Amino acid sequence: MTIRLAAETPWYDLFSRGARDWLRHNEKVRDAVKETLPELLAGSDLMTRPGNRTVAVPVKFLEHSRLRLADANVQQGAGQGRGEPGDVLQPGREEGGEQGQAGGTGEGEIRFVVELKVDEIVDWLWEELKLPELKPKRTATMDQAEYIREGWDKRGARSRLDRRRTMKEAVKRHAIQSNIAAGNGTDTLEAEPISLVNDDLRFRQLVKRPSPATSAAVIFALDVSGSMDEAQRRLAKQFFFFALQGIRRQYAKVETVFLAHAAQAWEFDESQFFQASSSGGTVTSSVARLALEVMTTRYEPSRYNVYFFYASDGENAAEDRDEARGTLAEIARQVNYTGYCETGGVATFRPRDTQLAEIFTELKGSGLAVGTSHLASQDDVWNAIRAFFTEQAASGD
């Protein structure tokens, strides 16, 4: 009899089959997570969270199912040890109490967390939805100037001295001069070190050049009046989230503004934005005016690519109609794109367009970059995103 040592049969040290199948399992988990992505993302305040933009998704192991019997009401098994019929081996758990005790399933459930990068998720979505990339506004490209290096000059600040160039010039000059000297029949000292004269100095030059604006500002406006319920706001939030992600893909720097309004408008930070609610009436012009103010003071549309998104159930105070039309038109003229989403169940019988829908349709008709969409269900969010990015890409041409 011989006992072999592992070293003689090293094949199983090469790779771990268990780890390979585990990785494959994780791949499948990620695919499964991908499918439920929209709901996952709507849950947390991901929009402005800085730093590591990841979502941690707690998941269970996938189960490879087999046929098995339904659980019996009373489960039986064979055991061993001290005990007479009737003896209690393990007391029942009180309802609600003592949840901390390890479950009776023996193995215990192991949960793990899949960490997904938000950018990765958005990339998936963009592939999935086949969305085009956004284009920066043309007018915005002309204004923002930047210094770039271009050419050399004999004069300049010491800090811009290009030593390599300077030495090259010196060598060239030296070669010419020694050639002339040789032509004259004069002896030259080959080993003579190359000396620099002022004429050899070369300085790098900077030129002012316009460069495309790479920063964008996104203004989200939300109607928080009493008629907007929780479900409608969630849809709006999802739309806002994905619109923002799409814009983030394109611009190096994206700033966000959150405005909520009922009869009056306020600016919020993101965490409070979706909690805000008011029982007042709806005056759209209030938020439009606030948006204009934000634009003039902080995000000059000639320097920023500004996007304006507005979500509302479409109802606006009748006396505000003209005012709203005027201010919204003013916004639409200045920004790259205006997106309007109207929320509300499809069940609602709509004999005609709402006041706001009419206004936006009119603005769109007059050739401004305006998009409208209706959000009644999860799927509409995708349609709205698709419509927005396709239109925006087309209007950018």
Partner 1 sequence: MTELQDYAERIESLARRLGLDYYNVDFELAPASLMTEIAVYGLPVRMPHWSFGVRYIHQLVRQSMGHSKIFEVMFPGDPCRAFLMDGNSTAENALVTAHVLGHADFAKNNQLFARFHAMAGANIVETAAAHAHRIQLSIEAHGVERVEGVLDAALALESHIDVAGELHRARYSEFVQEKRPPTETGFQARFRQLPGAEEQAAPKSGQVRAPVPPHSEYDLLWFIANYAPELEQWERDIFLMVRSESFYFYPVFACQIMNEGWASYWHARLLREADFLPQPLYLSAIKAHSDVVRPFASGQETALAINPYHLGFTMWERIVEKHGIERAREVRRDEDDFGFIRNWLDEDLAREAGLFVYEARPGDEIRVATKDISAIREAILAPKFNFGAPRVAAVELKHDGSLTLAHDHASDGRGLDVTRAKRVLDYVHRVWRRPVRLTTVNEKNEAVELAA
Using CB atoms within 10 Å of the CB of residue 354, give its burial: 0 to 12 exposed, 13 to 18 middle, 19+ buried: middle
Smallest gap from Cβ 350 to partner 1, in A, equals 40
Amino acid at 248: R
Query: Which one among 74, 102, 157, 197 touches partner 1, defined by CB under 8 A?
Result: 74
Q: Is 4 in the site for partner 1 (CB under 8 A)?
A: yes
The span of 82-90, 129-137, 255-263, 384-392 binding partner 1 (CB under 8 A) equals 82-90
Smallest gap from Cβ 313 to partner 1, in A, equals 39
Query: Which one among 17, 111, 164, 352 touches partner 1, defined by CB under 8 A?
Result: 17
Taking residue 215's Cβ as centre, other Cβ atoms within 10 Å add up to: 17
Q: Is 72 in the site for partner 1 (CB under 8 A)?
A: yes
Close Cβ partners of 181 (under 8 Å, ≥ 6 residues apart): 188
- Judged by beta carbon, residue 5 or residue 252, the one nearer partner 1 is 5
Q: Is 25 in the site for partner 1 (CB under 8 A)?
A: yes
For 115, the 3-state DSSP assignment is strand
Query: Which one among 14, 51, 82, 155 touches partner 1, defined by CB under 8 A?
Result: 82
Query: Which one among 35, 52, 58, 75 touches partner 1, defined by CB under 8 A?
Result: 75
Close Cβ partners of 264 (under 8 Å, ≥ 6 residues apart): 280, 283, 286
Query: Which one among 50, 51, 58, 79 touches partner 1, defined by CB under 8 A?
Result: 79
Q: Is 107 in the site for partner 1 (CB under 8 A)?
A: yes
What is the Cβ-side half-sphere exposure of residue 53, based on CA atoms within 13 angstroms? 14
Amino acid at 223: D
Tell me how far the alpha carbon of residue 289 is from its chain's centroid: 27
- Taking CA 270 as the corner, what is the angle to CA 266 and CA 271, rounded to the nearest 5 degrees? 110
- Retrieve residue 161's tokens: 């001295």
Count residues near partner 1 (CB under 8 A).
Answer: 57
Query: Which one among 51, 58, 70, 111 touches partner 1, defined by CB under 8 A?
Result: 70
Smallest gap from Cβ 245 to partner 1, in A, equals 28
Smallest gap from Cβ 102 to partner 1, in A, equals 11
Q: Phi, psi (5° rounding) for residue 30?
A: -60, -40
Q: Which of residues 305-364 bind partner 1 (CB under 8 A)?
A: none
Q: Phi, psi (5° rounding) for residue 226?
A: -55, -25
Least Cα distance to 173 among 151, 154, 149 occurs for 154
- Judged by beta carbon, residue 95 or residue 319, the one nearer partner 1 is 95
Q: Is 76 in the site for partner 1 (CB under 8 A)?
A: yes
Smallest gap from Cβ 11 to partner 1, in A, equals 8
Eight-class DSSP state of 301: T
Close Cβ partners of 109 (under 8 Å, ≥ 6 residues apart): 60, 103
Q: Is 86 in the site for partner 1 (CB under 8 A)?
A: yes
Q: Is 14 in the site for partner 1 (CB under 8 A)?
A: no
- Judged by beta carbon, residue 33 or residue 231, the one nearer partner 1 is 33
Q: Is 90 in the site for partner 1 (CB under 8 A)?
A: yes
Query: Which one among 58, 91, 100, 365 touches partner 1, defined by CB under 8 A?
Result: 91
- Judged by beta carbon, residue 66 or residue 164, the one nearer partner 1 is 66
Q: Is 113 in the site for partner 1 (CB under 8 A)?
A: no
Q: Are the C-beta atoms of 314 and 374 separated by less than 8 Å?
A: no
DSSP per residue over 328-372, as a string?
HHHHHHHSSEEEEEEE--TTS--SS--HHHHHHHHHHHTT-SEEE
- Judged by beta carbon, residue 106 or residue 193, the one nearer partner 1 is 106
Q: Is 65 in the site for partner 1 (CB under 8 A)?
A: yes
Query: Which one among 35, 87, 115, 230 touches partner 1, defined by CB under 8 A?
Result: 87
Whole-angstrom Cα distance, residue 151 to residue 238?
50
The span of 1-9, 119-127, 318-326, 370-378 binding partner 1 (CB under 8 A) equals 1-9
Give me the helix-helix angle, 284-297 and 321-334, nearest 10°: 30
Is beta strand 265-268 parallel, antiparallel or unpaired with respect to 253-261?
antiparallel
Residues that bind partner 1 (CB under 8 A): 1-6, 9, 12-13, 16-26, 28, 61-93, 104, 107, 110
